[in-house]
Chain A
Amino acid sequence: MEASKTLRPSVARRLIVRLLGRPASLGDAIFSRLTLIFALSLVGILLTMIVILNIDAMPAIQKSGLSGIGSSTWNPVTEKFGALPAIYGTLLSTAIALILAVPISLGAAIFLAELAPGWIKGPASFLIEMLAAIPSVILGLWGIFVLVPFVRSPMETWLGDHIGFLPLFHGPPFGVGFLAAGIILAIMIIPIITATSRDIIGAVPSSQSEAMLALGATRWEAINGAILPYCRSGLLGAVILGMGRALGETMAVTMVIGNAYRITPSLFAPGNTIASKIANEFNEASGDVYIGSLVELALILLAISLIVNVLARLLVWRMTRGVSENRE
């Protein structure tokens, strides 16, 4: 029995050494290979997703080619599908959400990280993170029953009465539409951007602001001049995180965006995002071209998200390179 006990580990050890090379210890070898597998599997999932989406979208791509992306029709009867209004809707609703959310989030983050007294910091941060935990379906229902009537009147009626001549505020006050969708998306991404930015601002070494204050700067000048430039790339990353959520958000947007497949340059107009179009129609879609067109929309959304993230990475890289060059 003693002999077999000592035999087995050494056989296993020899096998592993042959497979994995000479590690510092068996545990380390297994750990490093296991984590490598996990990392590779994530990449694998992304690649598999892209491949399968491409295969399923093939019937639609073959039928209409790339011109399908530029068209505005969505006709299941004649099987002519175009992606332009959905892309427009996705980008517009995300833009509105960012315009509304970024000032609020950054302001809140600066307040929580720099200006808030200690007894506010904890509960306020907790509450903001709770906002992030609300499921999007519930926010969507709140949107239908509370936000949309509010947006319809007083918001849209007031805006329409006073600045309705601007094409941006043109049209009947439906309530549902890009404005409501943008507001709900803003509510959803504020917690993400705030929490991440607060951590980033909090990680700035206090020597930076202390130096500014020692030179006679006001509180605001210290924040604006020393802290914010230091963590610019991190803040940009937080905003990109929020934008990523806004691009793909489905349920809440579907409920308040009005579901009209048209490009209208007005905030009051109903529209569609890629996510809401897919969520609405995928269940009952039948026929290879129809389903293929919906999958093609998904591919386009994936491409938009990837492009946005790559651009953000490049921007961050340029900014950090600039900062580190200045430091030297």
Chain B
Amino acid sequence: MLRSTLKRKIWLPVAGILAVILLVAGCGGGGSKSETPTTTPITTPTPTSTMPAATSLTGAGATFPAPLYSKWFDEYNKLTGVAINYQAIGSGGGIKAITDGTVDFGASDGIMSDAEQAAAEAAHGPIMHVPMTSGSVAIAYNISGMKSGELKLTPDVLADIYLGKLTKWNDPRITAINPGLTLPNSDIAVVHRSDGSGTTYIFTDYLSKVSQDWAAKVGTAKSVQWPVGIGGSGSAGVAGQVQQLSNSIGYVELAYAIQNNMPWAKLLNKAGNYIEPSLAATTKAAEGVSLPDDMKIMITNSANPQAYPIAGFTWILVYKNQQNQAKGLALARMLWWAIHDGQKYTESLQYSSLPNDAVSKAEKEILSMNYNGQPLITR
């Protein structure tokens, strides 16, 4: 009797542990795919010195591009053996980390404020915003019977909805721009983000540009004082709320709207066309627009006739004067790869590729990275 209970006492936990190990190994083995490495040579610029580049880099920042960066760094590692560790702790955290110098590069969905830029430059010298990709913010809605792309909205109507001035779906201002649609006589349930995010930054920047009321009362930031509405945590939270609440409206990253088949509205852009959010329309937002050399520009309310109005870059933040030659070289080469070869990975992950003007500006920025006054790479 004792032996049998002893056996049970030993074998049960051992069997349990074995089962767990098999489960984990099975999950791990099934998850990874073996990819044949690409044979096309990567566009590498010429390093200006014979010193070898570093083999590991660290970065931290925005969550919006995190899936793309994850893919990029994985591919780059396969090609060059450089291991890049990226922590998606949020744009604010990324800015703080690069200012403190605890990472090699930061990432942000929003432009650094004057105070933040001054702090970083006081610490380690001039800091640059290098654009990597762009994304857009879809306005999703949940009105029974209405499909995606049916609802049209103008900038002032959208701003007034979020200001709480327009409260009913069948308000004359909304029905006027949507002839032929029967809008319900119910309150608009406004949904916004409860957490600080680059998506909110892009959205509020757009609203500030198109509505003086918004600019005066609320302003542009990663987190603002919303006049009305309920908050969802993350784009997933907002998407969930909009899908559950009828007669609701909310703003989400385009990727979420696409993946969850959420109906989105057509927005009137600056040139007077109603545009649906899409990857192509997002890239157009940066095309033909005069881009400044420091790339600190918000491409919301773009003048391009085919542009979707709520689009924005996401940047990697690097110091112009690198303190470590090996790391600086590795960083410059990685960024060069990202804005050229890396762009072919954007579409499958629902990010927009950079238009040519943005790529050439980014190239100039990367070429200006130097160590002790010597540029790290040349074309």
Contacts and interface: CB of A to CB of B under 8 A. Distances in A.
Interface of A: 73-78, 144, 148-149, 152, 172, 174-177, 254-255, 258-261, 270, 276, 280-281, 283-287
A287 B223 CA distance: 12
Given A259-B194, A284-B197, A76 B224 contact: yes
Nearest to B201: A284
A77 B218 contact: yes
Interface stretch (B8-16, B49-57, B89-97, B171-179): B89-97
Contact of A270 (B113, B221, B222, B231): B231
Interface residues of B, number: 35
Contact of A284 (B222, B225, B244): B222
A179 to B, nearest CB: 13
A286 B117 CA distance: 12
Nearest to A269: B230
Contacts, number: 90
A260 to B, nearest CB: 5
Contacts of B89: 283
B102 to A, nearest CB: 15
Given A144-B240, A149-B244, A254 B226 contact: no
Nearest to B218: A77
Contacts of A280: 194-196, 231, 233
A280 B92 CA distance: 13
B293 interface: no
Interface in B240-284: 240-241, 244-245
Interface string B90-124: 11110110000000000000000101100000000
Q: Which among B116, B194, B229 has the highest number of chain A CB atoms within 10 Å?
A: B194
A285 B218 contact: no
Contacts of A148: 244
B91 A284 contact: yes
A75 B218 CA distance: 8
Contacts of A76: 196, 221-225
Interface of B: 89-93, 95-96, 113, 115-116, 187, 189, 194-197, 218-226, 229-233, 237, 240-241, 244-245
B313 to A, nearest CB: 18
Contact of B92 (A75, A261, A270, A286): A286
Given A76-B222, A284-B223, 4 more contacts: A76-B224, A175-B244, A284-B92, A286-B222
A40 B205 CA distance: 52
Contacts of B189: 172, 174
7 contacts: A77-B218, A172-B187, A259-B232, A260-B226, A260-B231, A270-B230, A283-B90
B90 A284 contact: yes
A77 B195 contact: no
B164 to A, nearest CB: 11
Nearest to B112: A286
A106 B220 CA distance: 50
A175 to B, nearest CB: 7
Nearest to A288: B115
Given A77-B218, A176-B241, A285-B196, A258 B230 contact: yes
Contacts of B224: 75-77
The 7 closest A-B pairs by CB, nearest first: A259-B231, A284-B196, A259-B194, A77-B219, A286-B92, A258-B230, A284-B90
A176 B240 CA distance: 12
B226 to A, nearest CB: 7
A175 B189 CA distance: 12
B230 A176 contact: yes
A149 B245 CA distance: 9
A260 B229 contact: yes
Given A172-B189, A284-B92, A75 B225 contact: yes
Contacts of B232: 259
Q: Which among A148, A255, A260 has the highest number of chain B CB atoms within 10 Å?
A: A260
A259 B197 CA distance: 15
A260 B241 CA distance: 13
A285 B230 contact: no
B223 A285 contact: yes
A52 to B, nearest CB: 17
A282 to B, nearest CB: 9
